[in-house]
Amino acid sequence: MQFGSGGYLPPAHSTFGGCGLPHCQIAEKQKTYDNGSKKLPDPSIRLNGVNWPAKIEDDGARSPIENRQFKGVLMEKGKAKKNKKFGMVIDLDKCTGCGSCMVACMAENNVSFREDETDKLLSVTWMRVYKLTNGKPFPDSEICYLPRPCMHCEADHGHSPCVSVCPATATDYDMNTGIVSQIYTRCFGCRYCMAACPYQVRVFNWYDPVWPDGMEKMLSPNVSVRMRGVVEKCSFCFHRYQLAKDKAYYEGRQDLEEDEYQTACTQACPASAITFGNLNDPDHAITQIVRPDHQLGGRSKNPRAFRLLERLGANPKVYYLSNREWVRHSGDNYRPDEVKL
């Protein structure tokens, strides 16, 4: 498994930047820079080679620059489809705004909390449920809830808005899974990515995470606790993917079943409004619902479906479904003459 730029640590340590201890820091650096013997041959030579596709599953550690080249090669060869592209579709007609996804995410990912969480700009939340209104007066007013995880934008060739601006390579688009990573120990808190993210999914840790006495017992070792001064965001529960892959490996299997890797929010949703899976696998429910057009950056062929800020071209992998036109139109900015509601 290749993620970010390395996958040689035991699962718990390779999760989103390791545990944060000094030994992990060193490991991070080693993965990034001290991999001379594991370097891929120059991709430009590979380009002309006939055997290239066989190497796609290669999990060699690469430097950030090599990683980008690697992605470019994949794209040019048009083999990205062989990779996984995890995405999510949320049925807004089923979502009741109950908040289970938010709490499932917090509990799964060791999200911290403070005494006052009502300033939502400071509130660390990976999954946030927005309340949309149609703006009409009583009694024609309507509301709709919209859960918003990280969109894991593919943009063009994996140049997600946040990935493009990160000076520390703390965030990266993984061509194998389509997941945008965040490595906390690399992040030094410049917050360029927060400015770049069109969806405001990224949050900065302004404060030390503090658990009341005894409550740190509920922390999961699968996800490292973030410290003050770094940016964090939804990972599509990447550690669950790693654990599932480990399990499959031990059982001698190459690939995962659809239900083996599901995010915490998908699993918890009491309304079953969230469907998660591999957009490149035609057998997965999400692909059948979304019917992505890979020629058009994954735009959905389902008339019920829409993505947030579709026209921005960030090509997010989170889709929404609604029968209501005003809900679908609230996903983007339209001029008054474009839309009549």
Partner 1 sequence: MKIDRRSFLSFVIGGAAGTAFTPLPWKLTDDSAIWTQMWPWTPVPDYGEVSYVNSTCTLCPGGCGITVRKIEERVVKIEGLSGHPVNDGGLCLLGLSGAQLLYGPRRVKTPLKKVNGKFRRISWDEAIGELATKLADLRAKGGSHKVAFIAASDQGTLPELINRFLTVYGSPNFIRTPSILDSYELTLDLMHGVQALPGFDIENTDFVLSFGSGLLDGWGSPVHMFRANSSWRDRKSTVVQIEPRLSNTAAKSDKWIPIKPGTEGALALGLAHVIIKESLYKKDFVHNYTIGFEKWRRPVVDGFSPDIVAKITDVDQTTITDLARKFARASKPLAVCGRGRGTTPGSLKEFMAVHALNALVGNLNMAGGLWTIPDADYIDWPELEMDDTASTGMQKGRIDGAGSQNYPHARYLFNRLSEVINSASSPPIDVLGVVGSNPVYTAPDTLSTKEAFEKIPLVVSFSSYMDETAEMADLILPNHIYLERYEDVPVISGIKYPLIGLAKPVIDPQFNTKHTGDVIILLAQALGGFIANAFPWESYEACLEETLGDKWETLLQQGFWLNVSFSPPSWAKAFETASGKFEFVNDQIDALPRFSSLKPEGKEASFPLVLIPYDSMRLQREFIGNPPFVIKTVEDTVLKANDVLVEISPDTARPLGLKEGGYAELSTPKGSARVKVHIYDGIKPGLVAIPAGLGHTAYSKYLAGKGVNINSLIGPVEDPASGHDAAWGIRAKLSKA
| Positions in 151-180 near partner 1 (CB under 8 A) | 168
251 near partner 1, judged by CB under 8 A: no
Query: Which C-beta is closer to partner 1: that of 168 or that of 244?
Result: 168
Cβ closest to partner 1, residue 115 vs residue 338 = 115
Tell me which residues in 68-107 interact with partner 1 (CB under 8 A). Answer: 91, 93-94, 96-100, 102-104, 106-107
CB of 95 to partner 1, least distance (A): 9
What is the rounded distance in angstroms from the CA atom of residue 166 to the CA atom of residue 191?
Answer: 8
Select 116 or 283, whichever has its Cβ closest to partner 1: 116
**Applying CB under 8 A, which part among 13-21, 37-45, 248-256, 307-315 lies near partner 1?**
13-21
Q: Are 38 and 245 in contact (CB under 8 A)?
A: no
- In angstroms, the CA 250 to CA 233 distance is 30
Q: Is 2 in the site for partner 1 (CB under 8 A)?
A: no
Tokens matching residue 80: 């990205």
> Using the rule CB under 8 A, which residue among 16, 70, 126, 184 binds partner 1?
184
Pattern 209-228, partner 1, x by CB under 8 A: x-xxxxxxxxxxx--xxxxx
**Closest separation in Å from C-beta 93 to partner 1:** 6
- Minimal CA–CA distance to 191: which of 181, 180, 177, 205? 205
Please identify which residue in 81, 136, 247, 253 interacts with partner 1, judged by CB under 8 A.
Answer: 136
Distance separating alpha carbons of residues 111 and 182, to the nearest angstrom: 14
DSSP helix/strand/coil, 11: helix
| Short-list 34, 3, 39, CA closest to 18 | 3
Instruction: Give the residue with the Cβ less far from partner 1, 75 or 225.
Output: 225
Decide whether 92 or 197 has the Cβ nearer to partner 1.
Answer: 92
* Shortest CB 231 distance to partner 1, Å: 12
Which of 44, 141, 200, 333 is in the footprint of partner 1 by CB under 8 A? 141
145 binds partner 1 (CB under 8 A): yes
Residue 230 contacts partner 1 per CB under 8 A: yes
* CA–CA gap between residue 226 and residue 169 (Å, rounded): 17
131 vs 335, which CB is nearer to partner 1? 131
- Shortest separation between residue 219's beta carbon and partner 1, angstroms: 4
Both tokens of 323, joined, read 């029968």
d(CA 52, CA 81): 14
Query: Measured from the CB atom, is 35 or 100 closer to partner 1?
Result: 100
Residues 14-43 that bind partner 1 (CB under 8 A): 19-22, 25
Residue 269 binds partner 1, judged by CB under 8 A:
yes
- Given the structure tokens 């059948």, which residue do they identify? 288
- Nearest approach, Cβ of 196 to partner 1 (angstroms)? 20
**Do the beta carbons of residue 211 and residue 237 sit within 8 Å?**
no
Can you spell out the DSSP letters for 189-254? Answer: S--HHHHH-TT---EE--S---PPTTGGGG--TTSPPPPTT-EE---SSHHHHHHHHHHHHHTT-S
Q: Is the peptide bond before 139 cis (omega within 30 degrees of 0)?
A: yes
